[in-house]
Structure 1
Amino acid sequence: MGTAVIVTLKAVIVISLIGSVVVQASILPAVWRDLSDAAVPVWGRVLLVSVAAAFVVTMQVFAVCVWRLLTLVRRGSVFSPSAFGYVNVIIGTFAAASVLTFVLAVALVPGEAAPGVVGLICGASLVLAGIALLVTVMRSLLVQATARESEVRALRSELDEVV
């Protein structure tokens, strides 16, 4: 992966993280106030704002893990055991985001939300679960590549001894 791609992706991550902090600091409190004005019960406000806040946190954790993986790519050490921890966390963040999205859909069922909106949110939950599964498959590819890299290093070492 080229340096320009890594730098560009890191810039996107920085912008996303700044935006997520803005969401946490100003937009979520505004949503709380708007829900209060709309006469949503306290438990509904707590649930909706908490789910939204947790969803933002999953995005932030995901962004930090991608940043760390990009750092490993730049150093040429992405095929190392330390990469697995970041990939595992990424899988967990997508799984958590999927559950949070489904909780949001379930919370909207008794309210005035249109059934189609609830269905779309359930679909988004399914897509997030699918991404978690896709990253799991990609993790297994990383495991295979890491194992092969170790085999290649061992063969090179043996060949160096012979030569």
Structure 2
Amino acid sequence: MGKLTVLALRIVLAMGLAGSVFVQAVMVPLLARDLNEDMGPDIARVRIPVLVIVLLGILTVQVTMVCVWRLLTMVRRGTVFSHAAFRYVDVVTGAIAAASLLAFGLGAVLAPGESVAPGVVLLVGGAGVLIAGVALVVVVLRILLAQAVARDAEAKHLQDELDEVI
């Protein structure tokens, strides 16, 4: 991966982290206030669960961005094809899976009552399925990483044998 690509991705990650902190600090309290003002009993019923799900969803995005940052550091150092990378990939997979479950949970919270249209609940459920699909893509990428680590170890072993012969 080129230095420019790593730099560009780090800029995007830094902006994403800053934006997510802004959303946590400013936008979520505004959402809480909006959900509190003159809303019916259906909205009052879902206020706290929706806020908790939103905050946890933002946290899953932040965890993913930090792990990708760490993986980029490993790429820059040339150590990404090691067993240490699996820890970060596993955390990313877990965070994305948790985000999928949070989306399904949001749909379950919004489904009862008349305050939210059924189509919106269906869209939230569809988003949960798509997020789960992203988690599965990361699992496939983890398998590819495992193969690359095994090939790298095999290449080092063969190089060591060749060095002994020479």
> Aligned letter for 1:92?
G
3-state DSSP class of the match of 2:60? Answer: helix
* Structure 1 portions without partners, runs of 5+: none
1:127 aligns with 2:130: yes
What is the aligned partner in structure 2 of residue 89 from structure 1?
91
1:25 aligns with 2:25: yes
1:103 aligns with 2:71: no
What is the aligned partner in structure 1 of residue 48 from structure 2?
46
Cα distance, 1:114 vs structure 2: 1.4
> Structure 2: how far apart are the matches of 1:121 and 1:135?
21
Cα distance, 1:83 vs structure 2: 0.3
Matches within 5 A, 1:52-67: 52-67=54-69
RMSD of aligned alpha carbons? 0.9
> Structure 1: how far apart are the matches of 2:104 and 2:84?
31
3-state DSSP class of the match of 2:30? Answer: helix
What is the aligned partner in structure 2 of residue 34 from structure 1?
34
Cα distance, 1:117 vs structure 2: 1.1
Cα distance, 1:45 vs structure 2: 1.1
> Aligned letter for 2:2?
G
Q: Percent identity?
A: 48
> Structure 2: how far apart are the matches of 1:67 and 1:94?
16
> Aligned letter for 1:23?
V
Cα distance, 1:149 vs structure 2: 0.4
* TM-score (structure 1 length as normaliser): 0.97
> Structure 1: how far apart are the matches of 2:14 and 2:137?
25
* TM-score (structure 2 length as normaliser): 0.95
> Aligned letter for 1:154?
H
How many residues are aligned here?
A: 162
